[in-house]
Amino acid sequence: MNIADPQNSNPLPELTDATRAVQHLIGAARELQARASRELGVNGTDMSALALLQQYGPMGPAELASRLGIRSASVTVLIDRLEQAGHVQRTSHPRDRRRVTVSATPSALHATLQFLRPSILAIDALSRSLDADAQQIVTAFLRDATRAMDP
């Protein structure tokens, strides 16, 4: 499969099976997140915000906006919406009372975990089925692939 590069319209070389598998994994993760957003009754951007808060922990609105790639006014509306739904809470920043920190509520964490639990356990079972050397290789590859996608 060749993918066109939108910058110069030159096709990429034939991709390896591992590269295509990572592409499929990314697609499956997007589909899983879309199903989770429907389960929680939130839109895709709201679900992305919850996922970020669950992955990285509490953060300020400006950091959340930056990670989501949206404006600060938009993130305020998003936080209001999630707070009204009971999915996030605002608290005063521990060191600077003028700042606000946003965190996912325990009920949002629980609901998301309940939805994702079957997938998490299935992936964990696959991982446990590998011998120690294979686990190290897969882990290193996935960490490096993740770094390759970071800005």
* pLDDT of res. 101: 94
* Domain that includes residue 92, residue range: 35-149
| Residue 130's CATH number | 1.10.10.10
Total tally of structural domains belonging to the chain: 1
pLDDT tens digit sequence for 19-31: 999 999 999 999 9
Q: If pLDDT is split at 50, 70 and 90, which confidence band does 1 have?
A: very low
- What are the tens digits of pLDDT across the range 60-103? 999 999 999 999 899 999 999 999 999 999 998 777 778 899 99
Task: Judge whether 21 lies within some domain.
Answer: no
From residue 28, how far is each of 14, 46, 72, 119 by CA, in Å? Answer: 22, 19, 30, 11
| pLDDT per residue as tens digits for the range 5-20 | 455 566 888 999 999 9
What is the pTM assigned to this prediction? 0.77
Residue closest to 87 by CA, chosen among 49, 38, 31 = 49
Contacts for 12 with CB less than 8 Å, ≥ 6 apart: 2, 3, 4, 5
The per-residue pLDDT for 98 is 81
Asked whether residue 144 is assigned to any structural domain, the reply reads yes
User: Would 82 be classed as within a structural domain?
Assistant: yes
Proportion of the chain above pLDDT 70, given as a percent:
93
Q: Is residue 16 part of a domain?
A: no
Q: Answer whether residue 7 is part of any domain.
A: no
Which segments of 28-120 are extended strands (E)?
Answer: 88-92, 100-104
pLDDT at residue 93 in the model: 74
CA 61 to chain centroid, in Å, comes to 17
5: in domain: no
Structure confidence by residue, pLDDT tens digits, 108-119: 999 999 999 999
Q: Mean pLDDT in the chain?
A: 90
Residue 97 lies in a domain: yes
Average pLDDT of the segment spanning 132-145: 96
Residue 2 reports pLDDT greater than 80: no
Residues forming beta bridges with residue 89, ordered by sequence position? 103
Taking the CA atoms of 80, 83, 88 and 94 in sequence, report the sign of the dihedral they define.
positive
